[in-house]
């Protein structure tokens, strides 16, 4: 058997670290190095029948089994239902940390000391100011627009205000705009709420925390003293922690793909927000509420599940690309939902959601496909109990996820393996043909 030169990665020496592939078309054998349980996709290109052939490519729609980078931010074991930020279990972070503490962790990979956290919080607070032009842009938009569309437009507009942000290879510039985006996103989000409700201008209160300021800016009309329910503040803080990062999800991948062209971070995170908006990603939390609104009573749940099983619709808030056991975020949120709803009073939607969860978990269709409640199943119920309308839920997800997008951006800018994202395709169109002039078509 003819043996072809392997595409060895540096440091690969042991035969046990090789994948031997034999091409039945030619009888040739190829050795591909295995590192971190991956083989290099470019190694396949040596596999060809004729010298002039292009060589093999992996075919992976939806990138379901392709590692696109090395990352030290977030670890997921989908089979065991484990999610960790920088080695810390999400359950412990959700219980013990504030969102800004988790932001510090995600950006620095270490939890802050009390002093470090104080400096970080102060710096964020000083940056909580929105340029007048972006406020004017929000006010110029029809307040009935989808709040995610308003947020996307505002994020994109920030790139006009900070032209130095295009110097993406400068770490000082990157840090400045990273901090700025964490500081500004809740305000951009809140402006949309205020505009719709006609609440008038707002300002950050130095005595309030980041999350308190966020809720105050959403809920308090101009000239009224903020009165925030501590249970609501804690619930929002926890939800932001749970949403802070989730490794190579659709929106982080969008940020990475767009940022790989070395565009400014405001444009890159706008792409992330746009990806998050979709109902299969961050838009699922509002889709869950819309779905629950269609079910009048617990007795209607079996018929509803049948329609999902027939493929007429998807059971929103169920299933996940990675989690095939349970979504640990859903476990935390499930408990949080019961607490928040207990404060807010009984909620028929919660009863229906619990009935759906119970019935689906006992149903072969869902168990065979390993479909469990995901983070979005109960988060919408909490927001709803807090008095928010479904269209706004994804905005909260975006506020929490901003730090994850920025950490991925920073990581890829530092990664020497980073290249512009440019996948391949299998062409299925016409073979070359003769041009037909207009008068002959």
Supply the minimum distance, in Å, between the C-beta of residue 319 and ligand CMC. 2
Residue 202 or residue 238: which is nearer to ligand CMC going by CB? Answer: 238
Burial bucket for residue 183 (CB in 10 Å: 0-12, 13-18, 19+): buried
**Per CB under 6 A, 318 contacts ligand CMC:** yes
Q: Which stretch binds ligand CMC (CB under 6 A): 126-134, 212-220, 313-321, 342-350?
A: 313-321
Residue 166 or residue 321: which is nearer to ligand CMC going by CB? Answer: 321
**Per CB under 6 A, 317 contacts ligand CMC:** yes
Residue 112 or residue 319: which is nearer to ligand CMC going by CB? Answer: 319
**Per CB under 6 A, 321 contacts ligand CMC:** yes
Supply the minimum distance, in Å, between the C-beta of residue 99 and ligand CMC. 18
Alpha-carbon gap, residue 224 to 211, rounded angstroms: 18
**Per CB under 6 A, 316 contacts ligand CMC:** yes
Q: What is the 3-state secondary structure (H, E, C) of the chain?
A: CCEECCCCCCCCCCHHHEEEEEECCCCEEEEEECECCECCHHHHHHCCCCCCCCCCCCCCHHHCCCCCCCCCCEEEECCCCEEEECCEEHHHHHHHCCHHHHHHHHHHCCCCCHHHHHHHHHHHHHCCCCCHHHHHHHHHCCCCCCHHHHHHHHHHHHHHHCHHHHCCCCHHHHHHHHHHHHHHHHHHHHHHHHHHHCCCCCCCCCCCCHHHHHHHHHHCCCCCCCCCCHHHHHHHHHHHHHHCCCCCCHHHHHHHHHHCCCCCHHHHHHHHHHHHHCCCCCCHHHHHHHHHHHCCCHHHHHHHHHHHHCCCCCCCCECCCCCCCCCHHHHHHHHHHHHHHHHHCCCHHHHHHHHHHHHHHCCHHHHHCCCCECHHHHHHHHHHHCCCCHHHHHHHHHHHHHHHHHHHHHHHHHCCCCCCCCCCCCCCCCCCCCCCCHHHC
Give Cα separations from 217 to 57, 98, 200, 404 (angstroms). 51, 19, 10, 23
Supply the minimum distance, in Å, between the C-beta of residue 46 and ligand CMC. 31
Q: Which stretch binds ligand CMC (CB under 6 A): 36-44, 229-237, 292-300, 315-323?
A: 315-323
Of 277, 320, 327, 408, the catalytic one is 320
Residue 28 or residue 349: which is nearer to ligand CMC going by CB? Answer: 349
Q: What residues from 265 to 294 belong to the interface with ligand CMC (CB under 6 A)?
A: 280-282, 284
Residue 147 or residue 317: which is nearer to ligand CMC going by CB? Answer: 317
Burial bucket for residue 176 (CB in 10 Å: 0-12, 13-18, 19+): middle
Residue 199 or residue 318: which is nearer to ligand CMC going by CB? Answer: 318
Considering only 138, 220, 249, 384, the residue that binds ligand CMC (CB under 6 A) is 249
Supply the minimum distance, in Å, between the C-beta of residue 399 and ligand CMC. 15
Supply the minimum distance, in Å, between the C-beta of residue 240 and ligand CMC. 15
Residue 147 or residue 282: which is nearer to ligand CMC going by CB? Answer: 282
| Site size with ligand CMC, rule: CB under 6 A | 20
Q: What residues from 373 to 412 belong to the interface with ligand CMC (CB under 6 A)?
A: 374-376
Residue of minimal CB distance from ligand CMC? 319
Considering only 177, 216, 246, 256, the residue that binds ligand CMC (CB under 6 A) is 246
Residue 196 or residue 281: which is nearer to ligand CMC going by CB? Answer: 281
Any idea how long the chain is? 441
Of 243, 277, 281, 408, the catalytic one is 281
Q: Is 281 a catalytic residue?
A: yes
**Per CB under 6 A, 319 contacts ligand CMC:** yes
Q: Is 243 a catalytic residue?
A: no
Bridge-based pairing of strands 28-33 and 3-4 is parallel
**Per CB under 6 A, 320 contacts ligand CMC:** yes
Contact flags string 345-374 toward ligand CMC, x per CB under 6 A: ------------------------x-x--x
Supply the minimum distance, in Å, between the C-beta of residue 191 and ligand CMC. 24
**Per CB under 6 A, 315 contacts ligand CMC:** yes
Q: Is 166 a catalytic residue?
A: no
Of 31, 237, 245, 376, the catalytic one is 376
Kindly list the catalytic residues.
Answer: 281, 320, 376
Where on the chain is the footprint of ligand CMC (CB under 6 A)? 246, 249, 280-282, 284, 308, 314-321, 369, 371, 374-376
């Amino acid at each position: 058997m003819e043996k072809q030169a392997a595409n060895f990665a540096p440091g690969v020496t042991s035969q046990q670290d090789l994948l031997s592939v034999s091409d039945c078309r030619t009888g040739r054998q190829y050795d591909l190095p295995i590192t971190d349980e991956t083989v290099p996709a470019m190694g396949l290109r040596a596999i060809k029948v004729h010298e002039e052939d292009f060589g093999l490519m992996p075919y992976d729609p939806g990138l379901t089994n392709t590692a696109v980078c090395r990352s030290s931010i977030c670890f997921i074991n989908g089979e065991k239902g484990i999610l960790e930020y920088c080695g810390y279990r999400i359950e412990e972070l959700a219980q013990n940390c504030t969102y800004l503490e988790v932001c510090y962790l995600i950006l620095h990979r270490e939890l802050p000391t009390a002093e470090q956290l104080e400096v970080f919080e102060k710096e964020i607070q000083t940056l909580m100011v929105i340029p007048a032009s972006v406020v004017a842009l929000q006010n110029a938009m029809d307040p009935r627009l989808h709040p995610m569309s308003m947020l996307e437009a505002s994020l994109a507009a920030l790139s006009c205000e900070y032209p130095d942000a295009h110097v993406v290879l400068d770490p000082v510039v990157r840090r400045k705009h990273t901090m700025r985006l964490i500081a500004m996103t809740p305000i951009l989000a809140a402006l949309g709420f205020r505009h719709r409700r006609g609440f008038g201008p707002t300002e950050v209160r130095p005595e309030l925390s980041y999350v308190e300021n966020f809720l105050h800016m959403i809920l308090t009309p101009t000239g009224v003293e903020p009165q925030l329910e501590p249970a609501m503040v804690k619930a929002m803080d926890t939800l932001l922690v749970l949403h802070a990062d989730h490794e190579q999800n659709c929106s982080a991948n969008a940020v990475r793909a767009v940022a790989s062209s070395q565009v400014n971070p405001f444009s890159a995170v706008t792409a992330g927000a746009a990806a998050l908006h979709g109902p299969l990603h961050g838009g699922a939390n509002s889709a869950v509420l819309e779905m629950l609104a269609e079910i009048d009573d617990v007795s209607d749940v079996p018929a509803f599940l049948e329609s999902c099983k027939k493929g007429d619709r998807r059971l929103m808030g169920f299933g996940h690309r990675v989690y095939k056991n349970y979504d640990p975020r859903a476990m935390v949120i499930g408990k949080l939902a019961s607490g928040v709803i207990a404060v807010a009073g009984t909620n028929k939607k919660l009863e229906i959601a619990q009935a759906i969860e119970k019935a689906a978990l006992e149903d072969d269709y869902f168990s065979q496909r390993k479909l469990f409640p995901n983070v979005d199943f109960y988060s919408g119920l909490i927001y709803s109990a807090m008095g928010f309308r479904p269209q706004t839920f994804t905005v909260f997800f975006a506020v929490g996820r901003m730090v994850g997008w920025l950490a991925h951006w920073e990581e890829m800018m530092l990664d020497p393996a980073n290249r512009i994202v440019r996948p391949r395709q299998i062409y299925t169109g016409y073979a070359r043909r003769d041009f037909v002039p207009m008068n002959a078509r």
